[in-house]
């Protein structure tokens, strides 16, 4: 897929999926109204703003990586041509889902809206099930041994402290190199 097409597709999917899940639904549930005085539980509200901001940044960067590195979109209907393993994907396999959950949780804390905590838990459970039952088998079919090596080295939900570096990568490189053919990487213990 050409980059301009991937960029447009990713932008549309960004608006339709995380835009609805992390933006429209929380607004629908709360009207984005602050519950209680702002000074009440100020440290939690500040933590919420930090989570909201960090989640939005992570989400935008992950979507951009699908265009630049993967030559596709996060949408199942227009998947990437290459396995996306750079950037935050060297620390955790599902940074988008974690970012969406953090964004919703951040809104819950910043606004003092407990209903959003329950919603964030439901979103996480749904995305975890989707990743396990649909995405992981689809990636294994599409990328075979390359995905299995990646999966065995990078945890799904708890980020690694040190980024995973596949053999043959140029240290300090901004772009992920093409993955070696199946069987060229040694299997190592998973951090999951």
- From first to last of its 192 residues, the chain has per-residue pLDDT tens of 787 787 888 888 888 899 999 999 999 999 999 988 776 688 999 999 999 999 999 999 999 999 999 988 898 888 899 999 999 999 999 999 999 999 999 999 999 999 999 999 999 999 999 999 999 999 999 999 999 999 999 999 999 999 999 875 433 334 444 555 444 444 444 434
What fold, for 3-153?
1.20.120
pTM of the model: 0.83
Boundaries of every domain in the chain: 3-153
Could you tell me if residue 149 is left (phi over 0), alpha (psi between -120 and 50 degrees) or otherwise beta?
Answer: alpha
Distance CA 99, CA 104 (A): 9
DSSP 123-143: HHHHHHHHIIIIIHHHHHHHH
């Amino acid at each position: 897929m050409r980059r301009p097409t991937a960029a447009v597709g990713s932008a549309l999917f960004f608006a339709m999926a995380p835009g609805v899940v992390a933006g429209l639904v929380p607004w629908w549930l709360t009207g984005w109204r602050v519950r209680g005085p702002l000074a009440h539980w100020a440290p939690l509200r500040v933590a919420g703003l930090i989570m909201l901001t960090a989640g939005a940044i992570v989400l935008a960067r992950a979507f951009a990586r699908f265009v630049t590195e993967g030559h596709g979109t996060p949408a199942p209907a227009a998947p990437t041509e290459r396995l996306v393993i750079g950037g935050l994907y060297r620390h955790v396999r599902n940074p988008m889902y974690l970012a969406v959950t953090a964004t919703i949780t951040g809104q819950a804390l910043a606004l003092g809206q407990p209903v959003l905590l329950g919603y964030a838990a439901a979103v996480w459970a749904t995305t975890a099930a989707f990743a396990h039952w649909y995405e992981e088998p689809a990636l294994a079919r599409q990328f075979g041994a390359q995905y299995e090596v990646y999966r065995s080295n990078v945890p799904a939900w708890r980020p690694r402290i040190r980024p995973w570096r596949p053999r043959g990568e140029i240290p300090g490189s901004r772009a992920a190199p093409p993955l070696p053919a199946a069987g060229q990487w040694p299997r190592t213990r998973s951090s999951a």
